[in-house]
C-alpha cells in the first residue's frame, strides 16, 4: 500500500512540530558541564508553550510553566562543590531533555585574541602536557570560530558562518588527551592551576578570535548608548579612529564582495564577537574572566582611548553577568622583537593595562614581560607559565590563597645628586637571574632623552628595595623607566623568581 504524498508531508510536519516542542536547554548548558557552586543558578530552555515543565538536578525538583513562545526558566538554589556527575533534566508531558555528568564547582570565561585562541597542541610542551591532561574534574567548553580573518575575500561559506548563531561551535567535555589539544592553552593551564589550588571541579568557557579588537567585544546597547562610540555604528566602523588600521584593512579585504550590500557582518565588526561568543554565556554566574588581548588595539598609541575601551568592556561584561565586581585577570602584553610600526605602542599599552588594574577594583594585570618572543613572532609558543601566572593571580587575589603572584613593582622615586633612587615593592629577595647588575633601566634629564643607566640594588628592607640609577650621559636626572621598549631582556626578579614590572616615572595624565 502506498501512502499519499500529502499524508507523508503531514506526518513529517507533525514530527517536526513535536521535535520543536520537545524540551531543550539553552546553549550554555550541556552534558559534562560545571555549574557554579554557592550561587543561585538560572537554568533555562524551550519546550511546548503554555505547559507545565519540571526541572530536576540531584535532589532538587522545580516546576514552572512555559510562556506563549515556549520559553521556560527556573533557578537552582546554591549548592556546594560536587565532583560526582549528576543529571540535569527537563521533563514535560513525558518528553525530556537530559544532560549527563554535570558537576558543581568554579567556572571562568577565557577570551581575547590569538594568544588566547592559541591551542594547547601548538605549544612547545604540547606532547607532554596533552599526555598528562586527563582530569575528569576539569571541564572545557571550547568554542571554535567557524571562519577566520585570513588576508583574502570571504567565500559564500565564510559569510554563512559569520552570523551570531553560527560563528562559534563547541560543546562541554572533560579534559583528556583526546579533548585538550584544541583547547586554549592559556585557559587550560589556568584551569589546571585552579584545580591544583582549590581541589574542586573547574570549568573553563573559551570564546576568542585572532586579531580581534576591544570594539568587537562590546555589547551593541553600550555602543548605541554612548556617544563616544558613534563611529562604531553601521559601516562607519570601517573608518573609525577607535579601531586600528590593520583591523579595518583586514575586515575590508574579507567583506569586499559584499561591501556594497549594506553593512555585512564580520568578526571584527563592533559588537559581533560579544553577541556571537559572550552574550549567550551570561546566564551562568561565572566567577571571573581571564583576558589576553591588546596586540590589535596597541597599534593606536593612545592610553586614554585604549583605557576607556577596556574599562567600558569590563563594566559592560560585569553588568551582563550581573556581578559588578566580577574579577578580570588580564595578561599584560609580553616582549616582542619586532621593529615594525604596528608594535611601537606596546610599552604604552602595557602601562595602560597596569593603570586599569590599579584603578578598577578586582582587575589584575599579569606581568609576562620576560615570556614573549625573542623574534617577531606575535604568538610565543611557551604558554604554560603564562596560564600558571594567571592562575596564581586568581588563587591569591580572588580566593585568598597564599600563592606568590607579583613581581617587583615601582613604588616611588626621588633624585639624589647625579642619581635617581627608585623604590620597589613586592621586592623581598630582590636579585637578578644572571648574577649581573639589573638591566633595562634608563634615565633622562630635563631634555627628556633617555640613556641606559647603571643600576645597583642599594637597600633591601622587608618587602621593599631601593635601586640607584646613574649614567655618565645624564648629570642631573629627572625621570627613570624600566623595560620601556617593545623588546627587552630583563633580569630583575624577586625571591619568588617573578619578574619586575615595566614602568616609567613620567607617566602622562590620562584625559579620557
Closest C-alpha among 398, 424, 419, 428 to residue 409: 424
SS (H, E, C) 109-173: EEEECHHHHCEHHHCCCHHHHHHCCCEEEEEEEECEECCCCCCCCCCHHHHHHCCCCCCEECCEE
Cell of 303: 592610553
- Residue 90: predicted pLDDT: 98
Beta-bridge partner residues of 449: none
Q: Residue 101: count other Cβ atoms within 10 Å of its Cβ.
A: 17
Q: Which fold has domain 5-103?
A: Immunoglobulin-like (2.60.40)
| Structural domain boundaries in the chain | 5-103, 105-397, 409-504
Ranges of residues in the chain with a pLDDT under 70 are 1-20, 508-512
- Select 409-504's CATH number: 3.40.50, 3.40.630, 1.10.3470, 2.60.40: 2.60.40
Q: Residue 221: count other Cβ atoms within 10 Å of its Cβ.
A: 12
Burial environment of residue 2 by CB neighbours within 10 A (0 to 12, 13 to 18, 19 or more) = exposed
User: What span, in angstroms and rounded, lies between the C-alpha atoms of 318 and 453?
Assistant: 43
Q: Is 330 helix (H, G, I), strand (E, B) or coil?
A: strand
List, for residues 326-347, the tens digit of each pLDDT value. Answer: 999 999 999 999 999 999 999 9
Fold agreement between 5-103 and 105-397: no
- Residue 263: predicted pLDDT: 84
* Contact in structure between 407 and 367 (CB atoms under 8 Å): yes
DSSP β-ladder status, 454-461 and 503-504: unpaired
- Residue 261: predicted pLDDT: 84
CATH number corresponding to 105-397: 3.40.50.1110
Q: H or E stretch including 349? A: helix 346-359
Map grid coordinates 633622562 to a residue. 444
List, for residues 429-459, the tens digit of each pLDDT value. Answer: 999 999 999 999 999 999 999 999 999 999 8
Amino acid at each position: 500500500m502506498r501512502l499519499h504524498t500529502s499524508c507523508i508531508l503531514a506526518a513529517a510536519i507533525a514530527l517536526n512540530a513535536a521535535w520543536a516542542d520537545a524540551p531543550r536547554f539553552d546553549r550554555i548548558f550541556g552534558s559534562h558541564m560545571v555549574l557554579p557552586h554557592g550561587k543561585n543558578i538560572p537554568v533555562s530552555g524551550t519546550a511546548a508553550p503554555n505547559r507545565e515543565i519540571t526541572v530536576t538536578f540531584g535532589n532538587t525538583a522545580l516546576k514552572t510553566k512555559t510562556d506563549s513562545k515556549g520559553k521556560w526558566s527556573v533557578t537552582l538554589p546554591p549548592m556546594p562543590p560536587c565532583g560526582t556527575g549528576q543529571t540535569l533534566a527537563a521533563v514535560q508531558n513525558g518528553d525530556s531533555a537530559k544532560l549527563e555528568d554535570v558537576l558543581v564547582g568554579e567556572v571562568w570565561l577565557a577570551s581575547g585574541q590569538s594568544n588566547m585562541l592559541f591551542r594547547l597542541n601548538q605549544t612547545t610542551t604540547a606532547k607532554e602536557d596533552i599526555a598528562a591532561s586527563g582530569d575528569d574534574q576539569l571541564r572545557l567548553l571550547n568554542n571554535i570560530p567557524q571562519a577566520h580573518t585570513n588576508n583574502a575575500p570571504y567565500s559564500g561559506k565564510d559569510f554563512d558562518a559569520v552570523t551570531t548563531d553560527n560563528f562559534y561551535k563547541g560543546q562541554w567535555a572533560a579534559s583528556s588527551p583526546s579533548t585538550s589539544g584544541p583547547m586554549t592553552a592559556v585557559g587550560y593551564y589556568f584551569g589546571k592551576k585552579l584545580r591544583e589550588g582549590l581541589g574542586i571541579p573547574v570549568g573553563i568557557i573559551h570564546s576568542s578570535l585572532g586579531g580581534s579588537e576591544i570594539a568587537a567585544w562590546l555589547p551593541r546597547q553600550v555602543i548605541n548608548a554612548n556617544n563616544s562610540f558613534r563611529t562604531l555604528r553601521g559601516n562607519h566602523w570601517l573608518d573609525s579612529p577607535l579601531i586600528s588600521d590593520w583591523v579595518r584593512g583586514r575586515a575590508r579585504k574579507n567583506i569586499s564582495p559584499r561591501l556594497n550590500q549594506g553593512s555585512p557582518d564580520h568578526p571584527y565588526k563592533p559588537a559581533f564577537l560579544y553577541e556571537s561568543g559572550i552574550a549567550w554565556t551570561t546566564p551562568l554566574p561565572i566567577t571571573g574572566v581571564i583576558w589576553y588581548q591588546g596586540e590589535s588595539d596597541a597599534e593606536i598609541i593612545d592610553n586614554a582611548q585604549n583605557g576607556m575601551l577596556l574599562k567600558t568592556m569590563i563594566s559592560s561584561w560585569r553588568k551582563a553577568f550581573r556581578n559588578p565586581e566580577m574579577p578580570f585577570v588580564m595578561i599584560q602584553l609580553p616582549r616582542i622583537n619586532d621593529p615594525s610600526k604596528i608594535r611601537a605602542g606596546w610599552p604604552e599599552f602595557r602601562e595602560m593595562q597596569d593603570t586599569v588594574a590599579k584603578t578598577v577594583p578586582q582587575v589584575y594585570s599579569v606581568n609576562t614581560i620576560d615570556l614573549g618572543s625573542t623574534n617577531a613572532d606575535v604568538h610565543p609558543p611557551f604558554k604554560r607559565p603564562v596560564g600558571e601566572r594567571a592562575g596564581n593571580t586568581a588563587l591569591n587575589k580572588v580566593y585568598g590563597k597564599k600563592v606568590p603572584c607579583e613581581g617587583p613593582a615601582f613604588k616611588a622615586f626621588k633624585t639624589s645628586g647625579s642619581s635617581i633612587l627608585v623604590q620597589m615593592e613586592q621586592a623581598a629577595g630582590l636579585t637578578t637571574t644572571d648574577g649581573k647588575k639589573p638591566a633595562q633601566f634608563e634615565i633622562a634629564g630635563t631634555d627628556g632623552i633617555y640613556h641606559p643607566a647603571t643600576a645597583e640594588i642599594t637597600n633591601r628592607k622587608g618587602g621593599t628595595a631601593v635601586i640607584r640609577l646613574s649614567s655618565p650621559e645624564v648629570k642631573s636626572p629627572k625621570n627613570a623607566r624600566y623595560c620601556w621598549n617593545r623588546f627587552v631582556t630583563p633580569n630583575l626578579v624577586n625571591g619568588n623568581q617573578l619578574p619586575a614590572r615595566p614602568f616609567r616615572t613620567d607617566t602622562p595624565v590620562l584625559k579620557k
